[in-house]
Structure 1
């Protein structure tokens, strides 16, 4: 079952990310990502498809594509939880290969917050539930003033 088919998840408007290296609209042959938010606990989910331009080993997704999705998703989740963050460090564990042309699901969550640091975890699983990749991240919050001309749009989209 995809996250799009589950109840209790809010579909995220992906147009906001149209210029994203990871989930942007121009990446249709590399990656297709659709985020979903569960407001009651702040977890972020995604349906992901790995296309031919995400190739690493023959017929499988590049590890960098998996890491990039986890990095972006853990950061996006921070923003939806009212932590305007950027990545300080991510650590990725590769458990299994991800075949190209297949979908996977992603789930990420905040483990804890310590001052400006936001500690996160995430997992990518194939549709059979097998763990493909897991990661953890340390993100640091930005002062809203640093967003400059984007501050208003970001505040409205993420609700803060």
Structure 2
């Protein structure tokens, strides 16, 4: 994947290390919002990504492409695959316990993903500089060692929780994340 200069970390960027309180390897990370299309268990047609971190800095997840996720007959919709990349990347930056939003997502499609196939996702951070985080992900068909079907590079921007209260549903944030302070 050739990354643009927007998703390539600058020379002064640092690669984050696992936090001392990082989840133990294999611990489910859980959804950030129960009705999220990417990870929420209460979204009826969502991806229902179940993620874990093997090392406190990388996230792995998988999802099986269902009928509701197809574009061309029998194949995953490219937008759904981009959503999966965005979601797993977002989960990887969340390991650092700061809220980020997607600033740019570049997605390369390398192979079609059939309905019924399981896509094995992996995401990691390549650097942080100020409020900007640079991340990458890949999705492999069938197993973690299977052929790469999709790759992504992203720029995420750190925001305060007020961003979500101002532009979203502040009460839902409070209801699902009792430990957050939200000042709209």
What TM-score does the superposition give when structure 1 sets the normalisation length? 0.81
- CA shift, 1:153, in A, is 1.4
CA contact (8 A) 1:30 1:52 kept: no
For 1:31, what is the secondary structure of its paired residue? coil
Structure 2 CA distance, aligned partners of 1:116 and 1:124? Answer: 26
Q: CA separation of 1:137/1:18 partners in 2, compared to 1, >3 Å: closer, same or farther? A: same
Structure 1 CA distance, aligned partners of 2:129 and 2:46? Answer: 35
- CA shift, 1:56, in A, is 1.0
CA contact (8 A) 2:47 2:84 kept: no
Q: Where do residues 110-149 of structure 1 align in structure 2 (5 Å cutoff)?
A: 110-128=125-143, 129-148=146-165, 149=170
For 2:97, what is the secondary structure of its paired residue? coil
Cα distance per residue 1:116-141 (max 9 Å; x no partner)? 00000000001251000000000000
Q: Which runs of 5+ in 2 are unaligned?
A: 1-23
CA contact (8 A) 2:37 2:47 kept: no
Q: CA separation of 1:144/1:33 partners in 2, compared to 1, >3 Å: closer, same or farther? A: closer
The ranges of structure 1 where at least 4 consecutive aligned residues each deviate by more than 4 angstroms after the TM superposition are 26-30
Structure-1 residue corresponding to 2:96: 81
Structure-1 residue corresponding to 2:74: 59
CA contact (8 A) 2:82 2:107 kept: yes
Name which one, 1 or 2, has greater alpha-carbon Rg.
Answer: 2
Structure 2 CA distance, aligned partners of 1:28 and 1:117? Answer: 33
The alignment's C-alpha RMSD in Å is 2.3
Greater percentage in helix: 1
Cα distance per residue 1:99-153 (max 9 Å; x no partner)? 1012121000000001100000000001251000000000000124445453691
CA contact (8 A) 2:35 2:43 kept: no
Q: Which runs of 5+ in 1 are unaligned?
A: 1-6
Q: 2:27 pairs with 10, 13, 18, which one?
A: 10
Note if 1:33 corresponds to 2:57: no
Greater percentage in strand: 1
Structure 1 CA distance, aligned partners of 2:94 and 2:117? Answer: 28
